[in-house]
Amino acid sequence: MGLKKGTLKQILLITDGCSNKGEDPSATAGLAYEQGITVNVIGILEDDASQQPDGLQEVEDIALSGGGVSQLVYKKALSQTVQMVTKQAMTQTLQGFVNKELKQILGPEKSLEEMEPEKRGEIMEVVEDMGETCDLEVLVLIDTSASMTDKLPTVKEALIDLSISLNARIGRNRFSIFRFPGKQQDMEKVFDWSPRLDDISTIFPGLTSGGITPTGPAIREAIYQFGRKSLMRSLRHENERGMEEEA
């Protein structure tokens, strides 16, 4: 299976509910999925919430359209959930790749679930191995609307823990962090692509919260950021090749 060198792309959306500006976030998440980017969503509940707020149905809908994993979580359990969702989404995406490969090899009627247990076990080992070796790019999209103010310190700790837990992988990790709403736009970069999230302690105290929640436009902008990153990388390679030829 020639997938070891692939890059898994994820948007990790951390929110506490209702988007209230711009296009439908589920539709935008579907657009991301069509472009090979999985959208995973973590909906944060208040620790004393006796019932689920209405907006958290949206959490499931976005993840469903985005081919990802969704999880509702109380603030105190956020850290382990961020790690679990990211890893679960990697496995789910890789299983999807493997299923596609299997269909090409074995024909459309064979899927992973229909294989005999021994063969399925072997294939799951391949999936686990790929999860260790593939490159991973995670764009973290943080809701900084007014109701998220008291949750941001917990989000920061959870992301540092995520970075540490993924550092043991063989594959390359790249993270970036964007917030929505931004000061002037629907979405704003707060941390550029980097292999580690250790430095984010410095940016979080400066994150101010606003009232609106433009989730749909923010996901659309996040898709563009992945494309922009690929473009910058190919331009850099072109420049390096040009310099080698000149030398």
> What would the pLDDT profile of 47-59 be if each residue is shown by its tens digit?
665 555 666 788 8
Nearest to residue 167, comparing CAs of 202, 130, 198, 140? 198
> What would the pLDDT profile of 134-174 be if each residue is shown by its tens digit?
888 999 999 988 878 888 888 888 888 888 888 888 888 89
pTM for the structure as a whole: 0.81
Q: Distances in Å between the alpha carbon of 229 and those of 108, 165, 203, 207, 238?
A: 35, 24, 22, 24, 14
Lateral strand order in the sheet of 173-180: 67-74, 37-45, 7-15, 135-143, 173-180, 188-194
> What would the pLDDT profile of 104-134 be if each residue is shown by its tens digit?
777 666 666 777 777 778 877 878 888 888 8
d(CA 225, CA 101): 28
> What would the pLDDT profile of 25-36 be if each residue is shown by its tens digit?
999 999 999 999
> Which ranges of 52-204 would DSSP assign to H, the alpha helix?
56-65, 78-106, 117-133, 152-166
Which two tokens mark 68? Answer: 């990802």
pLDDT category of residue 236 using cuts at 50, 70 and 90: low
Give percent of the chain with pLDDT exceeding 90.
20
Least confident of 9-13, 22-26, 29-33, 203-207: 203-207
For residues 202 and 1, the model is more confident at: 202
**Helices 56-65 and 215-246 meet at what angle, rounded to 10?**
40
Q: Is it the case that residue 97 has pLDDT exceeding 80? A: no
Q: Is 208 helix (H, G, I), strand (E, B) or coil?
A: coil
CB 193 within 8 A of CB 155: no
* pLDDT of amino acid 187: 87
Please name the residue that has the structure tokens 């970075």.
Answer: 163
Other beta carbons within 10 angstroms of residue 150's beta carbon come to 10
